Amino acid sequence: MTKIISPSILAADFGNLQAACEMINASEAEWLHIDVMDGTFVPNISFGFPVLEAVKKHCKKPLDVHLMIVHPEKYIARFAKAGASVLTFHYETVENPLEVIELIKSEGIKVGITINPDIPVSVLEPYIDKVDLVLLMTVFAGYGGQQFIEESYDRIAELKEIIKRKNAQCLIEVDGGINAQNTSKLFESGVNVLVAGSAVFNAPNPIETIHDMLNT
């Protein structure tokens, strides 16, 4: 089973993003998670293209870009050009998810779809065999450092069941409140990609923490 840690740069020291990227390069993290927030879909603003381009310059790992923005369809080509390898949009933000999925695929990059914890997992069913990844938010999108919502395990099980029934190949990613305490249970539940912001970047030894998350 694929097991990937995707540390979220949102929790890094923005005064020294190069050092954060070098840590990621030296670590067992396979991806780097990039949270783009617009202050409209979510009540917080993070950063945009210039920061993404700067990270791309220093980071050798694929950039796993999580769009928390309205009208993501307007910016897909620019995110692809700025260096996204995986581009994930919120189901809640688009009128026609299939169109957005096709637009992202046409850029030659991986496509992900995501939902907040209050959206039924069943809404994803029509898209599951058309995406590379489904991201289940395990906190409400908007801020790092929140507490993992325990009901998420039921949602993961429901998603797994739909994936199996549809014989789909997509990866399952979770995001929010992931730390060394819940990592092994999440991998055992069938999650493939764990996003971790504060647990990695606030750790005394982030490289070791990433290693432990993969090996506990």
Supply the minimum distance, in Å, between the C-beta of residue 165 and Zn ion: 27
Residues 152-181 that bind ligand DX5 (CB under 6 A): 175-178
Q: How many CA atoms lie within 13 A of 176 on its CB side?
A: 21
Answer for the pair 189, 156: CB distance below 8 angstroms, yes or no: yes
**Per-residue x/- mask for ligand DX5, residues 43 to 82, rule CB under 6 A?**
-----------------------x----------------
Q: Is 141 in the site for ligand DX5 (CB under 6 A)?
A: yes
Strand pairing partners for 138?
Answer: none
Strand pairing partners for 135?
Answer: 114, 173
Encoded tokens for 166:
């549809």
Among the listed residues 38, 129, 175, 212, the single catalytic one is: 175
Residues 58-117 that bind Zn ion (CB under 5 A): 66
Strand pairing partners for 4?
Answer: 193
Question: Which residue has its beta carbon closest to ligand DX5?
Answer: 197
Spatial CA neighbour of 93 closest among 113, 120, 122:
113
Residues 152-211 that bind Zn ion (CB under 5 A): 175
Answer for the pair 137, 91: CB distance below 8 angstroms, yes or no: no
Is residue 64 part of the annotated active site? The answer reads no
Spatial CA neighbour of 206 closest among 27, 56, 15:
27
3 versus 169: smaller Cβ distance to ligand DX5: 3
Among the listed residues 13, 35, 118, 129, the single catalytic one is: 35
Q: Which residues bind ligand DX5 (CB under 6 A)?
A: 8, 10-11, 33, 35, 66, 139, 141-146, 175-178, 195-199
Catalytic residue list: 35, 175
